[in-house]
Amino acid sequence: MEIKKHLGQNFLLDKNVLLAFLSVANISPKDTVIEVGAGTGTITKELAKQAKEVLAVEIDKDIFLQLEKNVSDLRNVKIVNSDILKFTRLDRHQTRQVDNYVVVGAIPYQITSPLIHKLLTTENPPKSVTFIIQYEVAKKICAVPPNATYLSNFVSLYGTSKLTKKIKPFAFNPRPSVNSAIIHIEKHKTLPATDDMLKWSAFLHRGFKHPRKMLGNIFEKEYLLKAGINPTSRAQEVMLEEWEKLRFNNETIQQ
């Protein structure tokens, strides 16, 4: 099987990591699972034992043929040869009627941020997300002040994130040049509206575009003070609750 580096392919070999991943995902018999980057079906087969149904998405046409053979006897598995970032099942009208769906996968590292944005801004987001991603990116998603990031704040609007396991390169074939991690994000009971999540994304991007700058050089000091934020603070030092106040004051004053 030819490994295609441009697709970010690193196939999980370590059974202990697989078991840890499945434990963190916590799939129930009522769940519909969308698996990103199914590969040859190693994780898919295990998911099928736990879930109501599994929708396994794989972009590589060559690997897809092997995946098709490997899961042909699993009645609750449907496989799709598609780019997950263009996959219409994740579009608003497609997921609206699906209850208890979760998204999992050992995903190509280069799609982590765009995929998380796609999932969190769909009309009916998943009840949880469990990914194997690059360790340093996982740390950014789970970061808290004074080391918060754009991603940690954006993800916190959707749910609670947790980095559960650091993974060494030898757990994969081929071995990536960096460490990996299992990350789990559990959805809050109530969420901002889809359109509001998109507005939040733009607002947070503004705050984190120049992370070394004091916020007083990015936002009006009047807005910052009303939110209880010191104008000399940097974006990574601000709590999500303070961002919420800042955005509210910013929009209120501008009305």
Q: Are 61 and 138 contained in the same domain?
A: yes
Q: Is residue 148 part of a domain?
A: yes
**Confidence category of residue 93, pLDDT binned at 50, 70, 90:** very low
Q: Is residue 196 part of a domain?
A: no
Q: Are strands 77-81 and 53-58 parallel, antiparallel or unpaired?
A: parallel
Q: Is the pLDDT of residue 88 over 80?
A: no
* Range 198-224 average pLDDT: 94
Q: Are 179 and 229 contained in the same domain?
A: no
Q: Is residue 136 part of a domain?
A: yes
Tokens for 167, please give them: 């993974």
* pLDDT tens-digit readout, 15-60: 999 999 999 999 999 999 999 999 999 999 999 999 999 999 999 9
Q: What is the CATH number of the domain that holds 235?
A: 1.10.8.100
Q: Is residue 198 part of a domain?
A: no
Domain with 45 in it? 5-187
Q: Are 108 and 227 contained in the same domain?
A: no
**Confidence category of residue 87, pLDDT binned at 50, 70, 90:** confident
Q: Is residue 193 part of a domain?
A: no
Query: How many domains is the chain partitioned into structurally?
Result: 2
Instruction: Specify which residues 101 forms β-bridges with.
Output: 32
Q: Are 34 and 144 contained in the same domain?
A: yes
Output the pLDDT for position 174. 81
Q: Percent of the chain, pLDDT > 70?
A: 90
Whether this model's pTM surpasses 0.85: yes
Q: Are 178 and 91 contained in the same domain?
A: yes
Q: Is the pLDDT of residue 247 over 50?
A: yes
* Range 140-155 average pLDDT: 98
Q: Are 164 and 232 contained in the same domain?
A: no
Is 37 in contact with 107 (CB distance < 8 Å)? Answer: yes
Q: Identify the weakest region by mean pLDDT among 93-97, 140-144, 199-203.
A: 93-97
Q: Is the pLDDT of residue 6 over 60?
A: no
Q: What is the CATH number of the domain that holds 45?
A: 3.40.50.150
Output the pLDDT for position 99. 66
Helix (H), strand (E), coil (C) string for the chain = CCCCHHHCCCEECCHHHHHHHHHHHCCCCCCEEEEECCCCCHHHHHHHHHCCEEEEEECCHHHHHHHHHHCCCCCCEEEEECCHHHCHHHCHHHHCCCCCEEEEEECCHHHHHHHHHHHHCCCCCCCEEEEEEEHHHHHHHCCCCCCCCHHHHHHHHHEEEEEEEEECHHHEECCCCCCEEEEEEEECCCCCCHHHHHHHHHHHHHHHCCCCCCHHHCCCHHHHHHCCCCCCCCHHHCCHHHHHHHHHHHHHHHC
Q: Are 119 and 215 contained in the same domain?
A: no
Q: Are 138 and 244 contained in the same domain?
A: no
Q: Is residue 42 part of a domain?
A: yes
Q: Is residue 215 part of a domain?
A: yes
Output the pLDDT for position 123. 83
Mean pLDDT of the chain: 90
Q: Is residue 195 part of a domain?
A: no
Q: Are 216 and 138 contained in the same domain?
A: no
Output the pLDDT for position 97. 56
Q: Are 78 and 127 contained in the same domain?
A: yes
* pLDDT tens-digit readout, 224-241: 999 999 999 999 999 999
Q: Are 158 and 93 contained in the same domain?
A: yes
Q: Are 181 and 69 contained in the same domain?
A: yes
Output the pLDDT for position 25. 97
Higher pLDDT, 99 or 75: 75
